[in-house]
Structure formats: C-alpha cells, structure tokens
Structure 1
Amino acid sequence: MTLVALLGYGRFGRAFGDLVTEAGFHLRAYDPYTEVPEAVRANSVAELVAGADLVVVAVPVPAMTAAVAEIAPHVTPDQLVLDVGSVKVRPVAALEGGLGARIPWVGTHPLFGPLSLTLAERPLRVVICPNEVHPEAARRARYFYESLGCVIIEQSAEDHDRAMARTHALAFFIAKGVIDADKALADDPPPFVPPSFQGLARTMQSVRADAGHLYRALHQDNPFAADVRQALIEALVHADRKLTSAEVATAPESLAIPDLGTRSPELHEARAHIDSLDRDLLVLLRRRADLAARAGRAKRALGHGVLDASREAELLNQRRRWAEEQGLDPAAVDDVFQAILRLSRSVQRQGD
C-alpha cells in the first residue's frame, strides 16, 4: 500500500491523516464540508479514490450508508475499503450492502482519538472485524494499521458493539449525567477533590475532547447501548431507594460495597501471594533501574541522548513475542513495558 484515500476530514480525519503521512504513506483527502489542505486535497469522490490502494471512510456513522453509496461506482476490486466508526454493526451492514462481494471491505475501529494522538499516547489499538465475504481484507487492514504502529484486536462487529456499550458508551453516559447535573463542577472542579472524583474528572475531560457527536453515535447507533443504560439506571434507582429507606438505620451494613476478599478465603490467600510477588517485582525493577542508569552513563559518554527509539521499538516487539510464548496478552504486556521504559528514561535523565 502506498496511497491512502481519506473520505472525511473532520477532527478525527485530520488527526488520522497526519498519522498516515507520518508513517510514510501518500495521502489524498476529500470532504465537501470542511477545508482540506491543498497538498492532499481531492476535488471529487472520483478523484479521491482513483489509483488509491486503500479507501478510508471517516464520516459520522449516520452518514455511512450515503458515503459508501457515493464511493461504490468508483472503487475497483483491487482496492480495500474500511471505515473507522466507533460502532461496528451498522457501518459493517452499510459496507456489505453498498459493496457486497465485488469490492473488498472490512470494518475497523481505531481505539484512539485526536487527543490521544496529540498526547502521543501509546500503544495505539485498533479493532478489526473480519468478515466471511472478504476474509483477505482483514489481513490487509492489519498490515496497514501495523504500519502505523498500532496493536490489533480482532472481534466480530456484534462483540465489539456489546463491549463498547458496556465501556465507551457507558463512560459517555455517566459523564454526560455529571456534566448536566453540575456544569460548574464539570467546568472547574475544586483543587481539593479526592482521588475518587479525579478519575471521573479525567473521564469528563476525555469525553469532551472526543467531540459531542460521538455521544449520539455511541448510543443511537449501537444496538446494545440502550439495554446497558437501562441496567445502570435501574441500579442507581435501587441504590437511591436503599439510601432513603428505613433499612439504613437498622442495617447500615447493607449499604457497604462488599470487599471480595472478605467473602472468599481462596481469594484472600491469592491476594496475599500476589502482594508477596509484587514486592519481588519491585526488587527486580530496582535492579533494572540501576542498569538503566548505567546505560544512561554509557549513552552520555557517546554523546547520545536518552531516547533511543529504534532500541525501544525492538525491545517492545521482543517483549510482545515473549508474552505470546508465555500465553499472555501481548498488548497488555506492551502496556507494562511502556511504563517500565518511562521509568528507565526518567532514571537516565536524572543523571544528566
């Protein structure tokens, strides 16, 4: 793949286009509703897709069916079409209905937004939803996203939307409720808020940064979101009634959030072993930090800076392979070693 055609140049489209060009791909973009830089601008859908290896549909989910219908007459069987929507069941249906068996297509969801890219958060994760109509399309999409430095998760469209209803959509729903209930608190929380609210404040900040249109898409375009919302509402109503009932005076323990460890001796024992093992891990981290400091001194002697991007990339790839050998989730292990590398860089900078 060399030329990527991007249909849609909104907040996500712009950020995604930058990621594509930084990875060395040529980019062409078209959006009749917003300004596209002249260097990458196409003047029509036909011009956009002509000669492209990959066509990325980056439009709001409600506009997906119309967008696919617009590109369908111009794409060819040697091209790949994918979407980047935050829900998958309906976009996949739009791709299948508009392109069918003639044009290779696959549904994808980059689990990052413009804020994540601005903050250079890593790793970048992407869900790919393989389909039986074009099984090879998922492999091609994986190659593309891995070329961008992304970690790939494969799920069916239905499993993806169920997971997003319970996580992404639920986070937006809770944050919207807090914002609507106390806008002043959401806009300017006091500096002395406890850690329990700090986590919620970060969620509200993230929700706002992801743009308001996403709230509608996550709830109205995800077929599983309504049931999750209803379950939460019923749980909150039940909790509220319990707080105001006579039972509080006679049985205050009924309001406690149960500690799982007190309910299971086996769990209590397992946690004790985990605590012991974590102390051993910290000893190893101390040893690793000492070695990182030694490496930092060697770098300074060579006139080299702290960051060695090629070494870090090689290290992370190797750790992911080791994780697979141990039957561990490579993406989760990648997270662990990203944190360890931050610690190592910090130790090395202290020696500057």
Structure 2
Amino acid sequence: MTQVALVGYGRFGRALGTLLVESGMSYRALDPFSEVPEPYRVTSLPELVAGAELVVVAVPVPRLHSVLEALRPHLRPEQLVMDVGSVKVKPVEALAEVLGTKVPWVGTHPLFGPLSLAMAERPLRVVICPNPQHPEAAGRARRFYERLGCEIVEQTPENHDRVMAHTHALTFFVAKGMIDAGTGINVPFAPASFKALARTIEVVRSDAGHLFAAIQRENPFASEARSHLLKALEEIHGELERLPPESSAQEAGHMAIPAPQAGSPELTEARAHIDQLDRELMELLARRTELAQRAARAKAREGRPVLDPAREESLLAERRAWAAELGLEAEAVEELFRSILRFSRRSQAKGN
C-alpha cells in the first residue's frame, strides 16, 4: 500500500486525506496549526516521512521554503516531494533551491478543493509541471494522481501562472469587488445572467475565499491581468458615458457584447444549448453516482442494506412536488427518478 506523508492538514490537506483513503492509500499527517485525527497523526518530521513514498507539502506558499528546509535533512533520494500550491513559479523555485538534484520533486496544482470533493464534482484535474532535474518525477506524480481518479494537464510553471492569472486570479478579483460593492446582495429577483455570477461568487466564498490575497500576491502575472481588466472596464465605462442620451441602437452597436455564434439559425442555437445542458446533466449524474457510492460505503460500515424502500418513496414524493412547482409532469419526473435510483443501486453494489 502506498504510504503518503502530508505536511499540512488545513482545508486542502484534510480533503486530500479523505481522497487518499477512498483510493486505497494510507497516509500520515503533521500540522502544528490544525488538528489531525488520531489514526493519522504524527508528532515529528522524522516520524512523518519514515517509510513514505510520496511527501505532499500542503502549506501556504509563503511558508513553503522554510518547510522544505526543515524537511530536507529527513528526506531520502527514493522519495518524491510534491507541492500543491495554486501558483507554480515561486513554489518550483523553492523546490529547486532547497532540494535541487538530491531529492526528486515536482510542482503540482490540484484544480479542486474541499467543496469540489464534497459535491463529488468530476472530472478532477491536476496540473503537473515537469522537472528537467528529475525527468521521472512527473511520471510518478501522474500515476499518483491518476490513482486518485484525476485527469492530468502538463504545463510549465510560467504558462500555468499566466493561465491562472487570467482565470483563477481574475475570478477571485471580480468576486471580491462585487462582494465589497454589495452587488446583488439580498435582492428579491435577479436575471439568469446574474444568478450564474452569484453561483461563482458563492463557490469562491465557500471553497477558497481565504486564499484571495495569496492568489493575487504570489502569482507573478496576476497584477498584469488585473491591470488589463481594469483598463478594459475603464474604457468601456468611458465610452458609455460619452454616448449621447438620444443615441440609437445602431449608433451604439459597437458596444454590444459579441455573440458566440453571430447570425446562427434558431434551431442550431437551440440544439447547441441542449447539447450543453445534456453534458451538464451527465456531469451531474456522475457526481450523483459518486455520492451514492459514498452513501453505500457509509451503509456498509453501519451494517445497513443498500436498498431503503422508505427513503426511496420519500425521495420520489419530494421530486414529484418539485416537478409540480416547476410546471413539469410529475409522473414523467417520477419515472425518470426511478430509473436514476435503479442506476444508483447498481453503482452502489459495484462500489462495494
């Protein structure tokens, strides 16, 4: 059984520990600032890394260098050290400086967090930054993450941080601005466009709002990305202010947001939206299956059967009520959910 050492047991460390156990790997953890459950707790770095094949350093980026220096005397050349930071240029520099050619290392960024795992989101993706000093390290990291059920994307640290600056960092930046401006807080109604933004804001707040400053400050490209966004917004604001009040729609046409498929026929557009919704439904079904298997494991530990007729009938009655609220045919919705429940029972049986 693969033994993993977790240095750091904060929000992500705890979530990774759960994923390790579910994947059949064992681990030990050390964190002076967080409570580690007794079966996994150790009290010193030598005890933590002894016998471990992989050492995962899950600490804030500003602490990474000092933690690596403390680890270095206890590491062996056959072990692999990985970080899991949401930026990569600075962590890779720290890994190279402290471990160099002596101990294999690789920079990684799991693109998921505690909320993603709790909601059984799939696929789980991880960015790995291949290390020329240890060519085999990326392959070992890939095999580790694939055992956890992850898809792998390889990038250089610089390319990773550039992409994250224009996606991850900007998402947090916009979310923080909207929260501080009180935009859309407790409104009695809102259009679908804002509801999508609101969901994004809630994900940021629930999953990683505590990382806001680190994501902005530790990514060397984040400042440039923020500046470009602010410049574009300022230019749009200026143009809107300069438009005469009596401007026609044609005169203001250059301010329109470009459509993804300008001039596409109505049927083509409708089919594209249906395809997208079906894809989302499949992803939701995959998440539901993962949660059903998780429930089956809990039932097995308690000695309870997979089939729970009373629970299923209660669930179906609730789904019929939901269907009625939305103006859907309750009987058809019940038939659909009976099929989903049969699918869940099969997946639970396979999972056990």
Q: Under a length normalisation based on structure 2, what TM-score does the superposition of the two structures give?
A: 0.75
Which of 187, 190, 194 is the aligned partner of 1:193? 190
Correspondence list, 1:143-222, <5 A = 143-182=143-182, 185-186=184-185, 189-222=186-219
Deviation at 1:8, TM superposition (A): 0.3
SS in 1 for 2:136: helix
Q: Is 1:245 aligned to residue 236 of structure 2?
A: no
Q: Deviations over 1:52-95 (max 9, x none)?
A: 11000000111111111111111100000001110111111111
Provide the alpha-carbon RMSD of the alignment.
2.9
Q: d(CA) in 2 for partners of 1:213 and 1:138?
A: 29
Hey, what does 1:228 align to over in structure 2?
225
Query: SS of the counterpart of 1:152?
Result: strand
SS in 1 for 2:29: strand
**What is the one-letter code of the residue matched to 2:190?**
V
The DSSP-based 3-state class of the residue aligned with 2:246 is helix
The 3 A distance-change label for structure 1 pair 221 and 304 is: closer
CA pair 11-281 structure 1, distance change in 2 beyond 3 A: closer
Q: What letter corresponds to residue 340 of structure 2 in structure 1?
A: R
CA contact (8 A) 2:82 2:107 kept: yes
DSSP-derived class of the 2:73 partner: coil
Query: Equivalents in 2 of 1:74, 1:116: separation in Å?
Result: 33
CA distance in 2, matches of 1:279, 1:220: 40
Alpha-carbon shift at residue 345 of structure 1 (Å): 7.8
Cα offset, 1:346, TM superposition: 4.4
Counterpart residue number, 1:102: 102
SS in 2 for 1:168: helix
Further displaced range: 248-257 or 75-84 = 248-257
Match of 2:10 in 1: 10
Inter-CA distance 34–281: structure 2 relative to 1 (3 Å threshold): closer
Tell me, which stretches of 5 or more residues in structure 1 are unaligned? 284-302, 306-343
Partner of 2:69: 69
Q: Do the aligned partners of 2:243 and 2:252 also contact (CA within 8 Å) in 1?
A: no
CA deviation after TM superposition for structure 1 residue 256, in Å: 2.0
- Partner amino acid for 2:206? A
In structure 2, do the counterparts of structure 1 residues 7 and 351 end up closer, same or farther at CA, with 3 Å as the change threshold? Answer: closer
Residues 274 and 178 of structure 1, relative CA distance in 2, 3 Å threshold: closer
Alignment correspondent of 2:297: none
TM-score scaled to structure 1, two decimals? 0.75
Partner of 2:136: 136
Query: Aligned partner of 1:348: which letter?
Result: S
Q: Give the residue type in structure 1 aligned to 2:205.
A: R
Give % identity.
53
Shift of 1:122: 1.3
Displacement of 1:279 in angstroms is: 8.3
Q: Distance in 2 between matches of 1:106 and 1:254?
A: 47
Aligned CA distance change for structure 1 residues 191 and 146 (closer, same or farther; 3 Å): farther
Query: Compared with structure 1, are the counterparts of its residues 149 and 193 closer, same or farther at alpha carbon in structure 2 (3 Å cutoff)?
Result: same
| 1:328 aligned partner | none
Compute the displacement of 1:249 (Å).
3.4
Deviations 1:242-269 (A, max 9, x none): 121145534332332233644xx8xx58
Distance, in Å, in 1 between the alignment partners of 2:91 and 2:273 is 44
Aligned letter for 2:13?
G
Task: Return the alpha-carbon distance in structure 2 between the equivalents of residues 131 and 249 of structure 1.
Answer: 60
- Change in Cα spacing, 1:238 to 1:125, as seen in structure 2 (3 Å) is same
